[in-house]
Structure 1
Amino acid sequence: MTRTDDFPDAVIARVAGLLDEFHAGDRLTLSELSSRTGLPRSSTHRLLTQLAEHGWVSKRGKAYGLGRTPLEWGALARNHDRLHRVANPVLHDLHSATGLVVHLAVLDGSSIRYVDKVGRSDIDLPSRIGGRQPAHRTALGKALLAHSRFDTARPLSGCTPGSGAARIENLLPRTEIARIRERHIAYEREESVSGVACVAAPVGNGRTCVGALSVTGPVGSIDTVGLATPVRLAARTVWRALSQYDAQHRHGQAPQRTSA
């Protein structure tokens, strides 16, 4: 008798096996997929139907192919890896200069998703790489919301400012949005965690926002005025490094490290 806790692993293995068959980009019929994976035709059809509902596969006529979801996740993973790669040295420099915990995050719907975290704190912070927090309750989220088009219908990692302003105003007051956009800096004081304050800046050029970085620490150790300049500078350094990284990769050159 099969143990119940083995069932998810079996399902994952079957789904992975099905998706692997599309590695060459071919469109395959139900019979071909059943034959290649060794799964019963009925099981193959059931899994394909569920995968199609979530966008992992698409059906055209009698043939199946990869859907939009794996392509979107692939692009998102490449963008996040690229951002993390160029930002990490700058985060370490900012941590060394301030002694505070430094975060890097992107917008994911109405939440932020942490891409990197450098440093430790005596205060128990809820942040972890890959974790999420409500955007409007964090300085990172405020910086991202104020500089991004906001659309809860799909996850975003940052966009150009524009048509979603009314949606943003449901989360942030219009005056706060204007202030963040003008100063390119956002603050949070005990809105997500008692005793904790943050200063954040968007990573972008005013037209494009790809993420945000912040310094976080105990309320008593956060000098919001004094930290604004180094945080803004670090964000600009990441944006320059990202632009250089993209240019070097377009020309097949090895990227160089940029310090804050």
Structure 2
Amino acid sequence: MRNGDDFSPAVINRLAGLLDQFCEGRELTLSQLADGADLPRSSVHRLLSQLVASGWVTRNGRTYALSRTMVEWGSRAQQHDPLYRAAHPILQELHASTGLVAHLAVLDGTDVRYLDKVGRSTVALPSRIGGSQPALRTALGKAIIAHSGATQRGVGGTLETLVPGGPSPALRREIAQIRQRHVAHERNQSVPGIACLAAPIGDEQLCVGALSLSGPTELLDEVALAMPVRRAAQQAWRALSEDRSAVARLVHAG
């Protein structure tokens, strides 16, 4: 890597694309990384050499993986996130009182990005901290979309961008019901046999994310759990609202 290229947008984009290949947490070969990032093997080899020298990536024979330094950075980023700090103890209480898995997520483009996960399910869930799922396949995503400012203004701005060709009448009705009830649910959409119940974190003007409970369909009672989930989301918003600068940062990030 030439010195003149060190801070060029092209190099930063290549590095970001390369690091994204490790999102699933597995070790990858040079060929796999080059194919995944759609870059020449020679370029990937140079970038990997820099990442290994910087301590961001480790090499084990023919495979590469993220280093413990990156794990530490991820933990620090999570701890510095104001929404995570406000919601984490509430998720712990929600999990303890129900035995179900509690999640915290934000909208990231057309996906929901998981910021926190508390508890384990008897059925494997696809969610993981830092991971993502298509927003409209999750109760979390639907809760956030239904309470976004653009959707509330009646045009469905956020919803329109998520559905090629525009949302169906059925989806519009579902989003309207979620906005009215302040709770969203899904069954068997993300994982067969799993249900999820989610509530938005925010107020009438702003939605910064959502929290949820997930578990086997036979254990998740949507009627009985609706109020506890809504109450937990309200508690998270109150805790977050105590720090106005934190709310301002979240609005800017969104």
In 1, the alpha carbon distance for the partners of 2:158 and 2:242 equals 30
Q: Could you tell me the TM-score, scaled by structure 1's length?
A: 0.62
Question: Offset of 1:128 from its aligned partner?
Answer: 0.2
Instruction: Give yes or no for the alignment of 1:244 onto 2:204.
Output: no
Aligned equivalent of 2:208, options 203, 207, 210 = 210
Q: Determine the structure 2 residue equivalent to 1:90.
A: 90
In 2, the alpha carbon distance for the partners of 1:240 and 1:110 equals 27
In 2, the alpha carbon distance for the partners of 1:242 and 1:128 equals 23
Q: Determine the structure 2 residue equivalent to 1:156.
A: none
CA contact (8 A) 1:105 1:212 kept: yes
Instruction: Give yes or no for the alignment of 1:222 onto 2:220.
Output: yes
Q: How many residues align?
A: 180
In 2, the alpha carbon distance for the partners of 1:94 and 1:112 equals 20
Deviations 1:109-138 (A, max 9, x none): 110000000001110000000000011111
CA contact (8 A) 2:178 2:184 kept: yes
CA contact (8 A) 1:80 1:115 kept: no
Q: Could you tell me the TM-score, scaled by structure 2's length?
A: 0.63
Unaligned runs of 5+ in 2: 17-76, 249-254
In 2, the alpha carbon distance for the partners of 1:100 and 1:191 equals 18
Q: Determine the structure 2 residue equivalent to 1:48.
A: 8
Instruction: Give yes or no for the alignment of 1:134 onto 2:94.
Output: no
Q: Highest CA radius of gyration, 1 or 2?
A: 1
Secondary structure of the equivalent of 1:215?
strand
Aligned equivalent of 2:187, options 186, 189, 210 = 189
Name the CA shift for 1:166/1:189 in 2 (closer, same or farther; >3 Å).
closer
CA contact (8 A) 2:240 2:247 kept: no
Question: Offset of 1:242 from its aligned partner?
Answer: 0.3
Counterpart code for 2:232: A
Aligned-residue Cα RMSD (Å) equals: 3.0
Name the CA shift for 1:46/1:120 in 2 (closer, same or farther; >3 Å).
closer
Unaligned runs of 5+ in 1: 1-10, 12-38, 57-76, 151-159, 251-260
CA contact (8 A) 2:138 2:186 kept: yes
Instruction: Give yes or no for the alignment of 1:235 onto 2:195.
Output: no
Q: How much identity, in percent, do the aligned residues show?
A: 52
CA contact (8 A) 2:240 2:246 kept: no
Question: Offset of 1:236 from its aligned partner?
Answer: 0.2
